Amino acid sequence: MERFSVLPESFSGVHDDMTKQFLVIWGQIKAPLIVPLLNMGVFLCLAMSVMLFIERVYMGVVITIVKIFGRKPDKRYKWEALKDDLEHGNSAYPIVLVQIPMFNEREVYQLSIGAACGLSWPSDRIIVQVLDDSTDSTIKNMVEMECQRWASKGINIKYEIRDNRTGYKAGALKEGLKRSYVKHCDYVVIFDADFQPEPDFLWRTIPFLVHNPDLALIQARWKFVNANECMMTRMQEMSLDYHFTVEQEVGSSTYAFFGFNGTGGVWRIAAIEEAGGWKDRTTVEDMDLAVRASLKGWKFLYLGSLEVKNELPSTFKAYRYQQHRWSCGPANLFRKMLCEIIRNKKVSLWKKVYVIYSFFFIRKIVAHIVTFLFYCIVLPATVLVPEVQIPKWGAVYIPSIITLLNAVGTPRSLHLLIFWILFENVMALHRAKATLIGLLEIGRVNEWIVTEKLGGTLRLKSAIRAFKKHRFRIGDRIHLLELATGCYLFFCGCYDFAFGKNNFFIYLFVQSMAFFVMGFGYVGTFVPS
C-alpha cells in the first residue's frame, strides 16, 4: 500500500533532501564545535551556580545567627529618645528636610504629600520639599494646589520645579539640596511619590543619627500595600522580601555594606556632601551614592522593624521597565566604580571584597545571568546534545536549595513556590539582557522610565482606563523575546519526549508555557489565595 501524503511528491522529495542535508551538516559540526561549546557553557554555569549557592548559604547562616543571637539596632548603636529642652526650646531638635521627587504622579501625589505633612516633628524644624518634574501641566497645577492647601494649614512645604529633567531623579534631588533654606538642615528624608510613612517615622530614625556621628544613613523596610492584588504582585513580594529580610539585614548586622533603596531612608546631609553629592551617571543614583559614602568610611543602619507603605508595579509592562533599570544600573555602576573601590584606602580589605564580590558580582551580575543562561538555554540544549551531561547536584540539588533559601523571606507564599520559579526564570531573560547592556554600556543603558503607580482607591479605575488605552496596541501585549524563548523550550521538550533520555520534558513544557503566557501579556490576571 502506498503512503498517503497531502503534499505533492516533488515537494516531499525536496523536504526529505533538505532534512538529510541538515542532519549531515549537524553531524559534521556537532562533535568538533557544538559539544565543546556546550561543555564550556555547562562548566561556566555550574561554577556560577556554586558561587551563588555559597553566597546564599552564607547569607542564610548569618541571618540565622542574627535572629537567634544578634543584638537589636538600639543595642549595636546608641539610641535615646530626643526630649524637649526648656532652655533652648525646639532649637534642640535638628532641622529635617523631607524630599518627595515626582513625575506626573496623578494617582498618588495626594497620598505622599499628605503622609509627609503628617510626620510628627516640631513644625518649625521640618521642611517638606516637593520636587515636581511633571511634564503634564494639569498635574503640575494639581500638585501645586495640594502644596498650597497644606501650606495654608501651617505646614512648611516648598513646591520646586525645574526647566528640564536633566539627571532625572538624581538631578531633582541635587537641585533640591541647593535651595538656600536647606543650608540649615541637618538631615534629609527621601520618599518616592507612592510612599506613605507612619507619623512616628522621624522619632524612630533621627535619634540614631543624632547620637552616632559615624552613621550616614538609616534605611527602613518597604511594606507593599498591593501585594495581594494579583499573582504578579505576590511574585514580586517574594523576591523583594528576601532582599529586605536577608540581604539588607546581613549587610547592616555585619557592618559590611548594603545599598540605599532610593526611598524610605534618612541621610545625613554632611555625608552626602562628602561623598560628592548626587550623580546621574547611572540609573541607580541611590546605589551610587551609597557606595561612594561607604568608601568614605560612613556606616549605614537598616531598621527592619520600621516599615513604610508603598506600591508594587501592577502591570507587566511597568514591572519590565523597573527590572531593566534595577538590573542595568548596578552592572553599569560596577563597571564605573570597580577600580575606584580597589584603590580605596579608607575601608578594610574585607569590606572591599564584600562590595565587589558579594554585593556586585554575585547578586547583581551572576544571579541574573546564570538563572537565564543555565535553566533556559544550556540545560535545554543538553537534550539536543546527549553527549553533554549535567550532574544531578548541579541540575537539581543546588537549584533546589537556592530556591528554598530565597523563599524564606515570605513564608506565607511557600505554596506558590513553583509559580515563583517559573516567573523568575522568565524575568531572568530581561535581567540578563539588562545586565549585559550595563556591563557593555550600550543601547538602553541610561533609559529611565518612571514606574507607573495606580494608587490605592483609584487602582481599579486606572487599570481599566489603561487597558482601554492600550488594548489595541499589539506591542504592549506581545513580547517577542518571551515567545521566541518559549518556542525554543517547547521544541527541546518535544525532542526530549520523543527521543531524549534526560526526562526534562515536563520542566521544559511547563517553563515554555510560562514564557508563552507572559509573552502574550496575560501575567497578573490570577489572584492567589
Please report which helix (H) or strand (E) contains residue 112, including its range.
Answer: helix 109-117
Cell numbers at 350, concatenated: 574585607
Question: Do the Cβ atoms of 96 and 121 come closer than 8 Å?
Answer: yes
Question: Do the Cβ atoms of 462 and 194 come closer than 8 Å?
Answer: no
Q: Does the annotation mark 133 as catalytic?
A: yes
Q: Does the annotation mark 241 as catalytic?
A: no
Residue 511 corresponds to which amino acid? Q
Sheet containing 157-161: order of strands: 157-161, 126-132, 96-102, 187-190, 265-268, 215-224, 299-310
Catalytic, out of 132, 192, 286, 288 = 286
Catalytic, out of 132, 133, 194, 288 = 133
- Parallel, antiparallel, or unpaired: how do β-strands 215-224 and 265-268 relate? antiparallel
Question: Do the Cβ atoms of 252 and 300 come closer than 8 Å?
Answer: yes
Nearest to 359 by CA among 265, 256, 245: 256
Nearest to 528 by CA among 231, 321, 277: 231
Nearest to 126 by CA among 307, 257, 280, 266: 266
Residue 449's region, left for phi above 0, alpha for psi from -120 to 50, else beta, is beta
Question: Do the Cβ atoms of 438 and 330 come closer than 8 Å?
Answer: yes
Please count the helices (runs of H) and the strands (runs of E) in the chain: 22, 7
Q: List CB contacts of 503: < 8 A, sequence separation 6 or more.
A: 496
Catalytic residues: 133, 286
